[in-house]
Amino acid sequence: MWVHPIDSRYGSELMRAIFRQENRIKLMARVEALYARALAERGFIPKEAAEAIERAAEEVTPEDVRAEEALVKHETMALVRAISKRAGRYGEYLHLGLTSNDVLDTVMGVQIRQAGSIILRSSASLLEKIVKRGEESLDIVCLGRTHGVVADPIPLSMKFALWSYYVRRSIARFMDSLNEASVGKLRGAVGTAAASIELGIKDPLEVESEVLAALGLSPPEITTQVVPRDRLAHLILSMSLFSSALDTIANEIRNLHRTEISEVKEHFEERQVGSSTMPHKMNPINSEKVCGLARLMRSLAIAALENVVLEHERDLTNSSVERAILPEAFLILEEQINTLSAVIENLEIDRVRIGENLEKYGDIALSERLMIWLVKKGLGRQEAHEIVRSISLRSHRSGRRFIDEVLADESLSKILRPEEIEAIFSPRSYLGLGRELSIEEFRAAREFLKEVLLNG
């Protein structure tokens, strides 16, 4: 039975496999083997030693490492001892000139790169679905809302365009931070590479670059015993921003799903149950999950920021935190992306209800337009604003429709003809650049997707 939801409930098995101990040990062993090979090619250790270490690194098991760790209480030394035993006499050449975090930070960089690729693929799919549904909605006019109150009308596509923009920017930020965090280091105890130089290695940074390149990583400019943790904080922060963007989208869907609005709805399966006691319930549970997980993701950003501060050339306060927040961050964000992707793909858009709401509130939604027409007729802006505000207040208090109050207002009848009032209260002709802006965002998103898929 699992304890933490990310063990089973959140994220994919593919993502979980990256952060499992089996993969961590496999990657640690590979770093050791690649480093031994680089030393052998430069004549610092026998070629036979590198071959023996490579074979041992392939054969070592998590059980081997756990048995050693029970004795020495040190994760990296347990791996070194386990590989050394399998390598026989050549095991003495293992880990020569390295320190534990050379291996651990490099492995973390590989895990970040592997996990990041999954996030990029799933987020590209989400963006593509948002764009597709947005392009399908270009002809739908709906009510805009600010403060939860009716505002100007908008094309429904503008909601999708804004969501596209959120996700597109989130992916771009994530890609930048992913590249920054996909680093390793092989510079020894305090980052000076002194041990390697003492062994006679003239250019230890060349060795480092070669090994890191084989792992798909870059070297940092300078380190202590660990890679500076601002890189990891930047990554988690970008993921938290991404999570909050998804929260924003899911929250909007939840609000539009409300019974009294009911313009878009999450798809509800035929045999799905919404409540154990109220049979009619069809709740937006997937959007709610996306919003709930965002709260957890934002808390991880605080922990990542705390980890930036380490004492002198390092301490161990970051280690336990990173073991928890790194897999959590990737699994939570993946779950949010995949969940929202399914919501968007199957989102039910109720054109009838959108039309009913527009018919019911479309007149008050055009109060700004009425004000602008009065200005065009020669009134001052402030004067026009006060006239329209007074009429809307009368409408609110009397319960009569705003348009009826406008038609009944004697002062307005001297300024606007009935056919002009009819033209004013036509929502479809007061959309500004909403449709054009949507189309432009969808075009930009499709171009961006080409870049993501090319680099991802």
Active-site positions?
A: 147, 275
Taking the C-alpha atoms of residue 284 and residue 261, their distance in angstroms, rounded to an integer, is 13
Number of H helices and E strands in the chain, helices first, is 19, 4
The phi-psi region of residue 234 (left if phi > 0; otherwise alpha if psi is between -120 and 50; otherwise beta) is: alpha
Phi, psi for residue 150 in degrees, rounded to 5: -55, 135
Selection from 179, 242, 231, 235 nearest residue 456 by Cα: 179
Taking the C-alpha atoms of residue 189 and residue 203, their distance in angstroms, rounded to an integer, is 17
List, as one string, the DSSP characters of 109-148: HHHHHHHHHHHHHHHHHHHHHHHHHHHTTTT-EEEEEETT
Taking the C-alpha atoms of residue 263 and residue 3, their distance in angstroms, rounded to an integer, is 38
Q: b/e string for 31-62 if b means 16 or more Cβ within 10 A?
A: bbbbbbbbbbeeebbeeebbbbbbebbeebeb
Q: What angle do CA 15, 36, 82 make, to 5 degrees?
A: 65
Taking the C-alpha atoms of residue 287 and residue 440, their distance in angstroms, rounded to an integer, is 27
Taking the C-alpha atoms of residue 61 and residue 69, their distance in angstroms, rounded to an integer, is 13
Structure tokens at 348: 């039910």
Taking the C-alpha atoms of residue 208 and residue 186, their distance in angstroms, rounded to an integer, is 6
CB 360 within 8 A of CB 260: no
Taking the C-alpha atoms of residue 120 and residue 451, their distance in angstroms, rounded to an integer, is 11
Helix (H, G, I), strand (E, B) or coil at 202: coil
Tokens 């041992």 map to which residue? 56
CB 58 within 8 A of CB 86: no
Q: Are strands 348-349 and 264-265 parallel, antiparallel or unpaired?
A: antiparallel
